[in-house]
Amino acid sequence: MIVCVCRRVSDREIARHAHAGLSFDEIQFELGIAMQCGRCENCARDVVARCSSAHSVAAIHNEAQTVQLANNILESKAWSSSQHLSAA
Ligand code: FES
């Protein structure tokens, strides 16, 4: 759906930029949204906010997976220092 009629910018285009990590101000500068009549600003900010919160949840999920992987490696018998020393 078109969010900014003045610049013909869709919610997908805004979301693509938000998922790339750009802030509202950066997206506004890049795409020119909310710079003419300004009627699209609230809707555009909503799109960015939704994408940013989804991005944060994904980052937290990835961080948790990384910590779990590190714990699995540390607990793994293959990396046990006593086993490593006895093999040498
Ligand atoms: S609709 Fe976006 S600036 Fe007018």
Q: What is the DSSP letter of 35?
A: S
Ligand 1 pocket residues where CB is under 6 Å: 4-7, 33-40
| Side chain identity, residue 35 | M
Q: What is the DSSP letter of 7?
A: T
Structure tokens given for 51: 């994408």
10 neighbors 1 (Cβ within 8 angstroms): yes
User: 30: part of which helix (H) or strand (E)?
Assistant: helix 24-31
List, in sequence order, every residue forming a beta bridge with 9; answer none if it has no partner: 4
Per-residue pLDDT of the chain (88 residues; tens, 9 = 90+): 999 999 999 999 999 999 999 999 999 999 999 999 999 999 999 999 999 877 666 665 666 666 665 566 566 655 455 555 555 5
Q: How far is the CA of 31 from the centre of ligand 1 (A)?
A: 11
Residue nearest to atom 2 of ligand 1 (CA): 4
